[in-house]
Each structure stands twice: as C-alpha cells, then as structure tokens.
Structure 1
Amino acid sequence: MKRRSFLIKSIIGSIGMAVADTLSVNASSVESGRMEKKGKALFRIGICTDLHQDLITDGPARVQSFITEMNKLRPDFIIQMGDFCVPKPANQPIMDIWNQFKGPKYHVIGNHDTDGGFTHDQVVEFWNAKGKYYSFDYNNYHFVILNGNERAPENKLKGYPNSILKEQRNWLKQDLDSTNLPVMVFCHQGIDNDLDGLKEGNQMRILFERANKKAGFQKVQLVLSGHHHEDYHNVYNNINYLQINSISYQFAHLKDGYDFASTIDPIWAFITVYDNGIIDVKGKRSSYKNEKETGEYDGYPTVPFISDREIKVEVRE
C-alpha cells in the first residue's frame, strides 16, 4: 500500500509539473502575443476639443487638468481640435496654461473661435498656431490640419459656416500627393457626420479614398473630429473616422429647449500609434453634474466619456 501510495503521488506530482509547465508556456505565449500585439510605439498624442472657454465658467481649471496630465505622460505632441477660445485679451490666461506643456502644441480652428466678429487670422495669431490649415511630419507620419469654417461667397444662410472651399481642397490634394507617408487628418467638424458636420463631407471622403487608391496603400488612415460633443468611431471604405468628445459638456435635450450637461471632470483622449498598425485610444471618463434628458444628439448617444478603442490599420511593407 505504501509503494502504491508512493506511485500515485509520483504520478500526480508528474502531472502537476506537466500542467505547471504547460501553464508557464501558455502564459509566456500570451505575454509574447501581447508584446507582439503592442509592437513598438511610434508616437503618442494628447488630444482635447471643444473647451468653449467663452461659454463655460471653469475653462482654466479644465485646461490646467489636461496640461498637468500631459506633462506627466509626456506625449510627443498635444493638439486641441477647436472651439477653444476667442482671441481676446481676457483669454490670455487660457493660452498661458496651454503653453505650459513642455513640447510641441498644435491647434485646429473651430466655428466658435471667431465668435464676436474675430477673423481666422486673428485666431491664428493669438494662439500662435501654424496657420489656418497646415501639415507637418513626425516620425514617418504625415499630419494634416484642416479648417472647416470657410464660407462660400454665395452662401447667404445664417449660422456658422462649415465648408472647405476649393482653394483649401486643392492645397489638400497637393499636400497628400507630396507625401508617401501614412496620414492622419484633423478637422473640427465631422467629415463623416452629415448632420451638422462638414458641408463637403462626402466630397472630402471621396478625395481621401482617391488618394489611397492612387498611393496603392491605406495612406489616409485616421480622420479625427470634434464639434459634435459625441463619442463614436466609423469606418468608410477602409478609412477610420474618430470623434473626440468635448472636454467640457454636451447639449442636454430638455422639453423646453437645450441646456448644458457639463461633465464633473474634464475628459480627453491619449492616442498611441504602434509600428504594427495598432492605434490605441485611451479615453477619460466622467459623469454629468446634473442628470438631465440628454438623449441623443445628431443620432449618437450622449455620454460623459471618451471610449477606449483599438483601431487596426494597414502597415505598408
């Protein structure tokens, strides 16, 4: 009985060691898979949008939270995607906080940034932006910043302009033709959102798709927008369109009109791009200060957060 007991224990022990070894191998494989999945980080971007400094009361605190966090995380650059602040002296404290970031800083013009009769040129000067629209390269990627706030001379309608006119479109075509790098595009208005988005959205999507066809690879990979204060990701003809939610609030749908549904904490996105085609989006989450009938705005759910997402794009051989 003792010998039998010994044999049973030995067998069980051997099985246990084999299981442990298998688990160890599987764990190593999983970890290896994770490492392979992550790849090598090419660059990181901190993104916020739609502060609306001139419509809210706690703008400086929200920007300060973003900048403080970015100085800790140290992305390769930060960008705000419009509706930041009008170019008046009273808003200089906002710019002073923004300029605390210890790295490159970029701007996208939004429709509210010219409230009060200011011009795009005045906004560019006040922000120390690179231009009304422009592009730049970083670590083998090409970045395009568009201005979706142009108004055609024949457009006599009231309300905010939401166009990219022929001169800028021609510049964009030439700019895309001039680079062989993968491209990310930033525009305040949604190019994929035909409800209050860019008027020439369909035309712009075709322009991107033709650029990809001409290049023979997925050149235009990701198009980012703000403006709609929403949280969504669309894919049209192999091009990703990512909406970044407002750092400040959403419009609340009330029975007697609209009001602001402000988030308790500011929200923003942190994007890491890897060499294996993974674009990792980490978003901040909050809740609304007051529960209201927020419902849906422009067809997408109203939410007080920016979702974590993993977007896969093609990697050119």
Structure 2
Amino acid sequence: MNKPDSRRNFLQRLTWSSLALSVPGLAFSQTQSKKKIKIGLISDLHQDIIPDGEKRLEDFLNKMQKEKVDALVQLGDFAVPSPENQDLIERFNQAHKNVFHVLGNHDVDYGYSFDQCVKAYQMPSRYYSRNLEGIKVIVLDGNEEGSPNPTQGYPAYIGAEQQAWLRKELEEAKVPVMILCHQPLAGIYPLDNAKEMQDLLRHYADRILLVINGHAHVDQHLEVGGIHYVHINSASYYWVGEQLAHWSYPEEIHESHPSLAYTCSYSESLFALLEIDLESGKIRLEGKKAEWVGPSPQELGISYLTEAQMRENLIPEIKTRRIQ
C-alpha cells in the first residue's frame, strides 16, 4: 500500500484559475494518455419534484455538446424509473457514447427499486468501474443497508463487500482514478461511515485525482488525508422542508408540483465542466452561478447548518475556485 505522505512530491503547482489540483505523480507516470479529458457533471436534477427538469437537463446537454466533452456524468437523484420519465432518461443515455450514472437515494422514491434504476439507466451494476481516456472512473453505491449508526432518513452506507471491491480496484489501478458517489465521503451530509471510507482511501492518495459527490445540494471542496473531495451542487434547488414551506412560483405550478413548496429553487440549471489535463498534471473545474427563485433558505430562517456553511456553501452556485 502507498502511504499518504507519498503524495508530497506530487502536489506542486496549484496556482491557475478555477479548481486547480496536481495529478498524483504515481498514477500520472503510468498513464499513456497525453490529452485533456473533459467531463460534464450534473447532480440532483430531481425530475420528479421540479416543473422544468427537461429544460435544465437540455441546457446541460447543449453546453456539453458545444464543449465536445469525453463523457457525461449524472451524480444521482436524477429521475425515478417510471414510464413518464423514460424519455428524459433516454435523452441522457443517448446524448453521448460515454455516460456514467450514479445511484441516488431519491431515485427509488414512489416504490421503485435500485434494480429498476440499473435497468432503466443501462448501468452495468449498482457500483462499477470503467476506463475513460487514460483514467479509471470508479462509481460507488452509497445506498447500502446495514449501517450500525444510521444518521439520515435514507440508507447512506458502503458495506464490507463493496469496500473490498473498491480496495481491489484501487490496488490494481495503473492510471489515475476518479471516484464518484452520490453521498459525500467527506463534508456536509456525509455517509454514515464516511470516516471509515476516508481511512480506506488515504492509503491510495497517490493515485486518486479526486472524489466527487452530489446529495447535499451545496457547493463545497475540502481536502482530507491528501485527497480532494468536491461537492457538485444540485441542478435545481435546495430542500428546506415542510416547516419552511412557501410559494415562489405561480399557483398552478405549485398545485401540480406540491413538493416544490419545500424547496428554494435556482433560477437556472447548475452544472460543471471538469477538465483533466494529464500532460500538464492539472485539473480544472468550471462552475456556474444562478439566483434564488423567491426567498433564500437564509431568509426563511434555516437553522441546521453552521453560519459558515450557510455563507460559504449554501449558495445557488457551483464555484469556480483556486486552491493554493
């Protein structure tokens, strides 16, 4: 196993615009790819809650088509596998030859199962790995049962069998690795066993580019154990719950989409463009900014985040940022 301090020689130049990291040296030295890899990222569309999911998805797909990306990723809470959602799911599946689905906890609302999601999304399995243009993409399933300490209304856990599979995938990795999971492995609203997962990953910090998640509907970046964890904000809204229910849209929209009253929506779709340059050894994340529709969560009096989190992370934006 490679120790976390083996990364110290590889994190060198962190001074360019946007989210800027150094590609881990061990993995970079073993890859044969010398191109820029561009990946479109969208998370938490929540087609079954919002009235304009098709447009938000289309805005994302149009942007990524112009950028000529190498792959598209949706990070979960996309759309339940209902007959009504088949066209939207198929629109994403057919938008690119390389699409990656991550399972979210709300993808099985209304009585649907993860097996139905896997089939509708055309996933190989609930968790899987695939090579993409010189990097290894590992997709995790954070929705497993069996947590000894449940902290959320839905399962948010990665069990022993999946951990063993992940460890083997990382041991065998000969190219840089990017890890995707709906639930955060660090930061706001993490997995029940986030610390356990961080301890597992820190042994492979020299080959992990970054870990990307959705779920929390916030914008956040943090480094733990030599690994960069990035939250991709929701494409659509922040959930405030029934106690802070309010109307921000015309009456007829709220009547046809009753759960919308429990959200603070974003004025337009949020998504991100991830650019991995294996030649220069750098990563860039280009974000997007919107506005609140109606009052913000802070104006409504949300109280279950810290003041710093409400100021820095609870925003209708995916930040473009520098990391020094």
Same fold by TM-score greater than 0.5? yes
Aligned equivalent of 2:142: 148
Aligned equivalent of 1:239: 227
Per the normalisation by structure 2, the TM-score is: 0.77
Aligned equivalent of 2:96: 102
Runs of 5+ unmatched residues, structure 2: 1-15, 24-33, 247-261
Runs of 5+ unmatched residues, structure 1: 1-32, 213-217, 313-317
Structure number with greater CO (CA < 8 Å, separation at least 6) is: 2
1:139 maps to a residue whose letter is E
Q: Percent identity?
A: 33
State the number of aligned residues: 272
Q: Distance in 2 between matches of 1:187 and 1:204?
A: 12
Aligned equivalent of 2:195: 202
1:309 maps to a residue whose letter is R
Aligned equivalent of 1:174: 168
Give the secondary structure class of the aligned counterpart of 1:61.
helix
Moved >2 Å (runs of 4+): 37-42, 153-159, 251-259, 291-301, 309-312
The reply on whether 1:272 has 2:275 as its aligned counterpart is: yes
2:71–2:97 CA contact under 8 A, matched in 1: yes
2:271 maps to a residue whose letter is W
The reply on whether 1:79 has 2:79 as its aligned counterpart is: no
1:82–1:107 CA contact under 8 A, matched in 2: yes
Per the normalisation by structure 1, the TM-score is: 0.79
1:248 maps to a residue whose letter is S
2:266–2:290 CA contact under 8 A, matched in 1: yes
Give the secondary structure class of the aligned counterpart of 2:186.
coil
1:48–1:81 CA contact under 8 A, matched in 2: yes
Q: Alpha-carbon deviation of 1:254?
A: 8.8
Q: Distance in 2 between matches of 1:38 and 1:276?
A: 9
Aligned equivalent of 1:284: 288
Aligned equivalent of 2:317: 305
1:190 to 161, 184, 196: 184
Q: Distance in 1 between matches of 2:321 and 2:146?
A: 36
Where does 1:124-163 land on structure 2 (aligned, <5 Å)?
124-152=118-146, 159-163=153-157
Q: Alpha-carbon deviation of 1:211?
A: 2.5
1:52–1:84 CA contact under 8 A, matched in 2: yes
Aligned equivalent of 2:204: 211
CA RMSD of aligned residues (A): 2.7
Give per-residue Cα distances to partners, 1:265-300, cap 9 Å, x unaligned.
101000111122221110111101112343576442
Q: Alpha-carbon deviation of 1:256?
A: 4.4
Q: 1:255 to 1:155 in 2, by over 3 A?
A: closer
Give the secondary structure class of the aligned counterpart of 2:72.
strand
Q: Alpha-carbon deviation of 1:73?
A: 1.2
Aligned equivalent of 2:39: 45
Q: Alpha-carbon deviation of 1:178?
A: 1.1
Q: Distance in 2 between matches of 1:254 and 1:57?
A: 18
Q: Distance in 2 between matches of 1:159 and 1:38?
A: 37
1:224 to 212, 234, 237: 212
Q: 1:255 to 1:86 in 2, by over 3 A?
A: closer
Which deviates the most, 72-81 or 273-282?
A: 273-282
1:99 maps to a residue whose letter is N
Asked which structure has the greater CA Rg, the reply is 1
